[in-house]
Amino acid sequence: MSTLFTDRVVLITGGTGSFGKKFTEILLKEHRPRAIRVYSRDELKQHEMSQKVADARMRYLLGDIRDKDRLKRALNGVDIVVHAAALKQVPACEYNPFEAVQTNILGTKNVIDACIDCGVQQAILIGTDKAVNPVNLYGATKLCAEKLFVQGNSYSGGKGTIFSASRYGNVVGSRGSVIPVFLAQRERGFVTITDPRMTRFWLTLDQGVRFVMRCLEIMRGGEIFVPKIPSMRITDLAEVIAPGCEQRFTGIRPGEKVHEVLVSEDEARHTLENNEFFMIVPQFPWWDGPKWNHGNPVSHEFSYCSDTNPQWLDREQLRAILEGNMKLDLGQESPESSTVAPA
């Protein structure tokens, strides 16, 4: 068992979200933190979480990451920060762009400033594959957040807070997942898919949390950590959730990609690889940074994309993940579904 969290105070921004709740669950069950502070805006979600997590080490703090003064008060005495708060819905960010910038970019700047001012030891950002070669505002704001966290180390001077980021793909059953949509549509005998070629990286919430914990153990400042995770085809997912249902292809939506990227070819020039993950080291480590020895350099032509990923989930594996993590009873696989091209 890691001793990183032993007798430490941990604060999670956006702590009532799916990631924050799972992170808290594992931290309480498998580690010995002195206290866990959940920092978020929604008092109802905090109340509901407090009813399910009855532990004297829990603290629930109302606040917005847009409010730097409140953040500084909340971070007083905190050792480790996990920054998971963000506006994440792609259509909502497109329709409310100023709000996305206020929270995802300026709010992240507030987190960095407050961590440095309050003497937090280390902080990690929860990133997304949408930040790589972004095609929507959400991805662009998360790219900015990554840049801010990496270069936050230059503001802390290498002797204060150390900042790193994690970056991974779609999480099984998280907010905004397509799974509830397919579950609802199968009652009508069809599911809608934007593009039959579409692929995505996939991991479970438990895997995502444990990966972030692992990153916290080994981070030295400035890294972006990317786990090695499998890809899946959206058509396979639809067939597992709604076997035998018609698959209607509606055309790709604005701000959507056919395939996702976790490490771009441009980032390959400063990326290391080992058996567990890729580590993108900072290009401009003008602070007194460490020497990274967690892997070997990848080729300059390398990219980590969901369609060329060597690791794939087949339908049986997808079914096992859904039944094991979301407690869905999907039954046995049926013959191939029928499909229809877009009108």
pLDDT tens-place string over residues 202-224: 999 999 999 999 999 999 999 99
Assign 288 a pLDDT band (cuts: 50, 70, 90).
low
Domain count, the chain: 1
Q: CB burial class (10 A; 0-12, 13-18, 19+) of residue 78?
A: buried
**Does residue 343 surpass a pLDDT of 80?**
no
**Does residue 161 surpass a pLDDT of 90?**
yes
Q: Is 174 within a domain? A: no
Beta strands in the chain (DSSP E): 9-13, 35-40, 58-62, 80-83, 122-126, 162-166, 170-171, 190-193, 199-203, 224-227, 231-233, 246-249, 261-263, 271-273, 277-280, 296-297, 304-305, 339-340
Tens digits of per-residue pLDDT, 111-156? Answer: 999 999 999 999 999 999 999 999 999 999 999 999 999 999 999 9
Asked if residue 136 lies in contact with residue 130, where contact means CB atoms within 8 angstroms, the answer is: yes
Which helix (H) or strand (E) segment holds residue 237: the answer is helix 234-241
**Spatial distance between the Cα atoms of 244 and 212, rounded to a whole number of angstroms:** 38
| Residue 90's CATH number | 3.40.50.720
Q: Is 332 within a domain? A: no
Q: Which of 55, 12, 8 is nearest to 34 (CA)?
A: 8
**Spatial distance between the Cα atoms of 109 and 88, rounded to a whole number of angstroms:** 17
Q: Is 224 within a domain? A: yes
Q: According to the model, what pLDDT value does residue 285 have? A: 64
**Spatial distance between the Cα atoms of 41 and 78, rounded to a whole number of angstroms:** 19
**Spatial distance between the Cα atoms of 333 and 30, rounded to a whole number of angstroms:** 36
Range of the domain at 123: 9-169+203-229+261-306
Percent of the chain with pLDDT over 90: 81
**Does residue 325 surpass a pLDDT of 80?**
no
Q: Is 274 within a domain? A: yes
Q: Please list the active-site residues.
A: 130
| For range 53-59, the mean pLDDT | 94
**Does residue 244 surpass a pLDDT of 70?**
yes
Which helix (H) or strand (E) segment holds residue 17: the answer is none
Mean pLDDT in the chain? 91
Q: According to the model, what pLDDT value does residue 2 have? A: 79
**Does residue 336 surpass a pLDDT of 70?**
no
| For range 322-332, the mean pLDDT | 72
Q: Is 318 within a domain? A: no
Assign 334 a pLDDT band (cuts: 50, 70, 90).
very low
Asked if residue 86 lies in contact with residue 142, where contact means CB atoms within 8 angstroms, the answer is: yes
Asked if residue 287 lies in contact with residue 274, where contact means CB atoms within 8 angstroms, the answer is: no
Q: Which of 232, 252, 239 is nearest to 185 (CA)?
A: 239
**Spatial distance between the Cα atoms of 283 and 271, rounded to a whole number of angstroms:** 10
Q: According to the model, what pLDDT value does residue 143 have? A: 98
| For range 75-104, the mean pLDDT | 96
Tens digits of per-residue pLDDT, 9-31? Answer: 999 999 999 999 999 999 999 99
The two three-digit tokens of residue 243, written as one number: 């076997």
Q: Is 36 within a domain? A: yes
Asked if residue 220 lies in contact with residue 162, where contact means CB atoms within 8 angstroms, the answer is: yes
Q: According to the model, what pLDDT value does residue 289 have? A: 56
Asked if residue 139 lies in contact with residue 167, where contact means CB atoms within 8 angstroms, the answer is: no
Q: According to the model, what pLDDT value does residue 341 have? A: 45
Q: According to the model, what pLDDT value does residue 159 have? A: 75
Q: Is 187 within a domain? A: no
Q: According to the model, what pLDDT value does residue 228 have? A: 97
Assign 310 a pLDDT band (cuts: 50, 70, 90).
very high
**Spatial distance between the Cα atoms of 37 and 16, rounded to a whole number of angstroms:** 11
Q: Is 103 within a domain? A: yes
Q: According to the model, what pLDDT value does residue 327 have? A: 67
- What is this structure's pTM? 0.93
Q: According to the model, what pLDDT value does residue 286 have? A: 65
**Does residue 337 surpass a pLDDT of 50?**
no
**Does residue 99 surpass a pLDDT of 50?**
yes
